[in-house]
Structure 1
Amino acid sequence: MLAAMARRLARPLGLLLVLLVARTALPGFSSGLDRTLGEGAAALLDRTLWAATWLATAFLLVRALDVCVWQRRTPHLPRLLTDLVAALVWIAAGLVVVGRLTEMPLAGILTTSGVAVAVLGFALRDMLASLFAGLALNLERPYRIGDWLEITPGTVGQVVEVGWLTTRLLTQDGVGLVVPNAQLATRGFSNFDHEGGVWRDQVTVTLAYDVSPARAERILLAAAATVPAAHRTGRQPDARIVALGESGVTWTLRYWLQSYAERTEARHEVQAAILRHLYRAGLEPAHRRLDLFHTRLRPPAFEHRGRLDVLLARSDLFGLLDETDLRLLAAAARRRHVPAGEAVVRQGEPGSSLFVVVEGVLDVTIDRGQGPSRWVRLLAAGDMFGEYSLLTGEPRSATVCARTESLLFEITKADLLPVLERSPELARAMSRILTARQADRSSEVPSTPPPSPGGEHGLLQRIRAFFGLPGERA
């Protein structure tokens, strides 16, 4: 390190020593120079060497400050401040040289230059304001290279360069912004990359008044639970009511992010998840409407069964049933409200029912016997689980636990039995679908139980035996 410092100081120090030696040796050659080059040549050379000596001294001082002071400070001072100090050193040396060469007193030079600076400063007041604002910003360092700043509402860019007069930013659309430092110092800005490192973003959605607060909060939190970016900071999202308007109740889903760079994609994922969960719950964002009634309306009934048959019809397992059977099956299903953190089923326990997720998010895990349980997949609105136990009576093959407050419907063997008795051929179709589904899951997740022995035919026989259905006729 000392060797590097010496190398950087060698050139200005050598230059200064050469000039000092030349000035020292000049008197011995004065008479010869005057005879050779003319009267006054030695005096002109002396003044030139004197001026060069002062400039070489300024050069050495600037380099010494850079090597011995600025670079050894932790943290390093802003480059703008060090450049200003260097400029002051050069200006001071220049004033001394001008005063000596013109034989004017330094006070007179300062007075004359002061008037000129005043006139020039008035003409360049905006530029000087940006210059000193840049100095203040570099000293206080409210932002750094790479930070995301919001200059005006809706105008956000990443800092790529901080100059003497301006700060340059680049938006996510690739558009460059040049902002005067005076504007940043006087009007203010928002820094999304402060020392805390995390900040909260939000999206809003308006729901109808017939959606209860508990249900709306459950749906919104379930949507946020499916977006990894909303949980990366470790802080949990929340949902709050912000307004009661003509169209409905305006909700805000708030979540934490680590960087502004992921804001656009995170907002897209969160809003897409909200629409997906609302769609599966049979809801949609509220819109302006005008209702005209000629008679008194009955109080609305909040019922989920009306869309349970729709969810069943969309599934490959129950999509074979007609509308009558779907409505009967939905009417017989039992509603289950599961708080967050509670297990719906546990691996290895007996079971003979299937669950349909109407609202909420659940985690599926498998106990491997040694070590922690393995997470398999996430269940959201519209998904179902437990179909193998429903059709065969086998113990549960995995543990399903509610990540958020969830609403489920349970369909038992007794609910499905009348449907299979009326249409025995459905058992074959269900065995074929269930066999294909087990094969797919076994290939994706090795810990999943293997397909039933005997394949589709063996599973069909087990379903018939479990439900007491007659076998095939010869």
Structure 2
Amino acid sequence: MEPLTRVVALGAILVTAKYFQKKFKLPPVPIRLPTIALLATLINAYLPNAIEASVNSNWKNAGIELTQSYAYLQITVWIGLDLPSKIRWWPKPAKILTDLFKLTAGAVITLIILDRAANINVVGLVTTSAVLTAVIGLAAQEALKDLFAGIMLRIECPFSEGDYLEASDTCNGWVEALTLLSTHMRDEYGGLITLPNNLVWQHKMRKLPPAGPACREIYIDLDREFPPNEATELLTKIAINCNLVLDNPPPQAIVYSYNNHAVTYELEVWQKDPSDVGYDEVRGELLGQLWYALERIGQRIPYSVQEFKKRHGPSEPEVILEQSLETKIKVISLNPLFQELDDNEISSIAELSRLIRFSKNEHIVSEDETGHTLYQIVRGTVAILKKGKDGEQQEITQLSEPAFFGEMSVFNEEPRSATVKALCECILLEIEQDDLRPTLENKPKTVEKLATIINERRSALSNMNPKTTTKKMNELLRKMRSIFL
């Protein structure tokens, strides 16, 4: 084929491929090497005779032919392998197989061209020189190990691109590519890790799916006086309400061991992110919420120290959050539910109520669950969430101090109508149904005043007509009388 004809043919292929790549968003067309081949062919075709005579024609022709052949090889791989897989004619072959094909084809092309164009018998030169063969064998020993290990990894397929591999404490990440000699991974911080295939083949690896679910065990020490059934129930509840923990498989808490200063519990949770960063996030979230949950019930995290206590009878739980009666009276006085109560009645409720804390992202109440407590925000902001038609929770509104919620569960014993989640560390005043009994018992007028206030609030929020408002009022009053009178 004439040089000019080769240039025209190769150029036409490149232009056509580039056009279709832009139009149909095809894989990148190899441009660099074919362009070099075009320039080399053009320069050789119009090289002055004086210069051409001074250059060894065998080596020059071999170099140009090699460049052209490698360019045709790249285009052939693009047309025969990359393009069909992109348009889904057949699955994309593994990168290591593509590299092996290009390496083999390139080696064969090189041997043929050097033998024909440069009159060099490469095979005979290598096979007749024992020293050269030994040097090449020793130099390529590790590379050959990596090459054959890569082939075995592709045949066995213990992992694929996208899987998460745990190779060691400091070498973990998602598999990006398996090449002829190495395996490329991307760690949690975006860094690229390159491991020789022989190392990957010989060492034990732990494979996790790219997007979970991955099981994690968290070990937690709790006070020996905390009943195990209550402890495991508390740990499970915290895990269920954590957004980073999957609902299925469900979390599970068990007693792991007894120690000198504490009881160790194992909390088993499942998460989407299998990386160490994902584990640190879910562990930190759970431990943070556990601290607040323990404080609310008068428990604490034990320490490995010896404590000597003089005890007379059962020990009382330690109160961590200061329960100021003055503060509680002030908070209750701001609540419109109790605006018709006198000072003595408010003080009575305040003595029985309690200040409690919730951590960020912790669920205070959950939709459709039963409960007999109402909450008033002392500090912080909460989000009101309701399930949509798709089952996903959607934020309806946000509340801040001195807003309150949960009154219908106390006065009408209705299930929670929404989920309430703390958006930051929140301090709430918790008032249980039993805390109101001493104030409301044998006081029908006070009960009727409360029913009126609650019904007016519900009517304003629901836009009820007068007839419905009266009906709901009678039902609520009847229910409150059965509870408190």
TM-score, with length taken from structure 1: 0.57
Task: Using structure 2 for the length normalisation, give the TM-score.
Answer: 0.55
C-alpha distance in 2 between matches for 1:120 and 1:321: 98
1:237 counterpart residue number: 251
Question: Does residue 1:157 correspond to 2:173, yes or no?
Answer: yes
- Please name the residue that 2:232 is paired with: 217
Structure of greater Rg: 1
- For 2:373 and 2:434, locate their aligned partners in 1 and report how far apart those are by CA, in whole Å: 5
Match of 2:97 in 1: 81
Match of 2:264 in 1: 250
Structure 2 unaligned segments of length 5 or more: list them.
1-11, 18-29, 42-48, 335-342, 354-365, 376-383, 421-430, 466-476
Alignment CA distance shift 1:402-1:419 (3 Å): farther
Aligned residue runs from structure 1 range 43-442, under 5 A: 60=72, 63-69=75-81, 71-72=83-84, 74-100=90-116, 108-112=124-128, 116-138=132-154, 142-144=158-160, 146-153=162-169, 155-159=171-175, 162-173=178-189, 175-194=191-210, 197-231=212-246, 234-260=248-274, 262-291=278-307, 300=314, 316-317=331-332, 329=352, 344=370, 387=407, 395=412, 399=416, 410-411=433-434, 413-417=436-440
Q: CA deviation at 1:314?
A: 7.8
Q: Is the 8 A contact 1:161 1:167 kept in 2?
A: yes
* Identical columns (%): 19
Cα distance, 1:307–1:64 mapped onto 2, change above 3 Å: closer
Q: CA RMSD in A?
A: 6.0
Identify the range of structure 1 (49-58 vs 86-95) with the bigger mean alpha-carbon deviation.
49-58
CA change 1:442–1:263 in 2 (3 A) is farther
The 8 Å contact of residues 365 and 398 in structure 1, kept in 2 or not, is answered as: no
Instruction: Return the alpha-carbon distance in structure 2 between the equivalents of residues 276 and 142 of structure 1.
Output: 44
Deviation at 1:220, TM superposition (A): 0.6
Q: Is the 1:55–1:93 contact (alpha carbons within 8 Å) kept by the matching residues of 2?
A: no
CA distance in 1 between counterparts of 2:105 and 2:182 reads 24
After superposition, the C-alpha distances for 1:412-447 in whole angstroms (9 at most, x for unaligned) are 654235899xxxxxx9xx99xx989x98x999xx55
CA distance in 2, matches of 1:54, 1:155: 40
Q: What residue in structure 2 maps to residue 359 of structure 1?
A: none
Q: How big is the shift at 1:217?
A: 1.1
Structure 2: distance between partners of 1:448 and 1:344: 25
Q: Deviation of residue 61 (structure 1)?
A: 5.8
1:219 shift after superposition: 0.9
* Cα deviation 1:375-424 (Å, max 9, x = unaligned): 9899xxxx99765786xx6x456647999xxxx9641654235899xxxx
Question: Does the CA-based 8 Å contact 2:295-2:320 persist in structure 1?
Answer: no
Shift of 1:221: 1.4
- CA offsets 1:118-163 (integer angstroms, 9 cap, x no match): 4233234334433443444455554555544322125433445655
**Distance across 2 between alignment mates of 1:188 and 1:182:** 12
- The alpha-carbon deviation at position 65 of structure 1 amounts to 4.9
Give the 3 Å change call, closer, same or farther, for CA 238–219 of structure 1 in structure 2: same
Could you tell me whether the CA contact under 8 Å between 1:343 and 1:402 is conserved in 2? no
Instruction: Specify the SS of the correspondent of 1:255.
Output: strand
1:334-365: CA deviation from partner (whole Å, max 9, x where unpaired):
xxxxxx999636xxxxxxx7568xxxxxxx99
- Aligned amino acid, residue 203 of structure 2: R
